[in-house]
Copies of this chain bind each other. A is one copy, B any other.
Amino acid sequence: MSTLIKNGRIITAEQDYIADIYIEKDKVTLIGENLKNQADKVIDAKNKYVIPGGIDVHTHLDMPFGGTTSIDDFESGTKAAAFGGTTCLIDFAIQAKGTRIRDALDIWWEKAQGKATIDYGLHMIITDLPDAHMEDMSDMVNEGVTSFKLFMAYPDVLMVDDATIYKTMKHTSKTGALVCMHAENGSVIDLIVQKALAEGKTAPIYHALTRPTTAEGEAVNRSIALAEMAGAPVYIVHLSSNDALEKVAEARDRGLPVYAETCPQYLFLSLDDMGKDGFEDAKLVFTPPLREKWHQDKLWAGLQKNTLQIVSTDHCPFCYKEQKELGIDDFTKIPNGGPGIEHRLQLLFEGGVNEGRFSVNRWVELISTSPAKMFGLYPRKGTIAVGSDADIVIWDPEFEHTISVHSHHMRVDYSMFEGKKIKGNAETVLSRGEVIVENKKFLGKTGRGNFLKRDAYAGAWD
């Protein structure tokens, strides 16, 4: 099988030039002017951008939460991702308390294999780390699971204490793995939540109002301090507020290996989008919650200045009906999460490139190159170069589109960005050389996605 992409404007995190790309089997083997090579398939990319496929490093497919399960599994979730130009994702396996982390890996492989339509990796969530199991972390790294997520929130469920965090980081400082941190002070939030419930404040908006940005900033600062003492890098997930951003910026100014991602919901939505009558707000219940609108500008600036290196989705979809409704009488019962896997590239292109905040190169860097470099997938993924996997998106910068539940491919019964107008779309999508999206159709086979053994975090890659 061979493919020739003709006349496209090739855009990577650095480059911007017009050339032809020849793909043999699953890899790019040739880039040149007016290639004459025979190919099984020829794609004309004239006036289109040719970019490396998007990489979403934060998704929760088929994840049990509060008595229900996130509605997209590895099949529907990866298909929706592909429609949006994402050709690789990293999901989270979750250690059940009292079990070994190895078991969690097996469970998540089970969920993914035979279903995933694009390549995927796994992070491991650690909820419990008896000294006797410390060695299991090394095994994970050998299996290509080179990042561990810890929670400073959700006491009694997922939260680990400072000693556990420090021990984990001390371990990763030796293996080269990376700790991903959910940074919110769960102890305080719990007290605030209990007080709200006691006062009869049960509506969905109280989910947002009981999680102050100060609690996020505090936890980010603490996780950085723990990482500094352990001599390890740390990666803050779903950073949502300026409080948190300032802590990351300050650490980076001191030269520490501190990194962070944000998500489209924090860039495009705010508390102004909540406050609706009835239970509608439940659609926007995820953690961290939406913030006051002014935080958005700060987050965009963080993307511009590389204080934030990555945009992921934290895709964790629950239907409004039956799932979100579990919390109709009590916001703490609403499954936390929102659907976003499909529109990350579009939203960032609109808000970043079309609105003049950053270059098209920076866009590629945020949605593909940095994710690949941070999580041990580069240069296999994340760029267009000879020898790299042919995970390639033909992007039509002129295509106009309105985001809607009626047209999206996620299984969820609403859209967080309903009605948002976008210019720019993933027209054709290749995964390892195979066209999987074309003419708005999904052409890939279910289960064709491979598990990716990732390298360890490579040290100061930036």
Cα A228 to Cα B252 with chains together (Å) = 25
The residues in A between 184 and 212 inclusive whose CB is less than 8 angstroms from any CB of B are: 185, 187-188, 190-192, 212
Residues on B with beta carbons closer than 8 Å to the beta carbon of A445: none
The answer to the question of A33 belonging to the interface, with a C-beta cut-off of 8 Å to chain B, is yes
A7 to chain B, nearest CB (A): 12
A140 to chain B, nearest CB (A): 22
The answer to the question of A443 belonging to the interface, with a C-beta cut-off of 8 Å to chain B, is no
Produce 1/0 per residue, A1-45, CB < 8 A to B.
000000000101111111100100000011111000000000000
Known: A30-B31, A162-B185, A221-B221. A18 touches B387 (CB 8 A): yes
Q: Does B215 lie within 8 Å of A190, measured CB to CB?
A: no
Cα A17 to Cα B372 with chains together (Å) = 15
A316 to chain B, nearest CB (A): 26
The residues in A between 333 and 354 inclusive whose CB is less than 8 angstroms from any CB of B are: none
Count of chain A residues with a beta carbon within 8 Å of a chain B beta carbon: 57
Q: Does A32 lie within 8 Å of B30, measured CB to CB?
A: yes
The answer to the question of A358 belonging to the interface, with a C-beta cut-off of 8 Å to chain B, is yes
Most buried by B among A29, A252, A362: A29
Produce 1/0 per residue, A234-252, CB < 8 A to B.
0000000000000000001
Cα A376 to Cα B19 with chains together (Å) = 21
Q: Does A218 lie within 8 Å of B214, measured CB to CB?
A: no
Cα A228 to Cα B243 with chains together (Å) = 12
Known: A163-B187, A163-B190, A305-B252. A387 touches B17 (CB 8 A): yes
Q: Does A191 lie within 8 Å of B215, measured CB to CB?
A: no
Most buried by B among A15, A305, A385: A15
The answer to the question of A388 belonging to the interface, with a C-beta cut-off of 8 Å to chain B, is yes
Residues on B with beta carbons closer than 8 Å to the beta carbon of A161: 187
Q: Does A379 lie within 8 Å of B17, measured CB to CB?
A: yes
A76 to chain B, nearest CB (A): 33
Known: A18-B387, A461-B359. A214 touches B229 (CB 8 A): yes
Q: Which of B167, B190, B387 sits near A19, CB closer than 8 Å?
A: B387
A302 to chain B, nearest CB (A): 11
The answer to the question of A431 belonging to the interface, with a C-beta cut-off of 8 Å to chain B, is no
Q: Which of B222, B252, B387, B388 sits near A222, CB closer than 8 Å?
A: B222
- The 8 A-B pairs of least Cβ separation, nearest first, read A218-B225, A30-B32, A19-B386, A14-B14, A162-B187, A163-B187, A13-B14, A17-B385
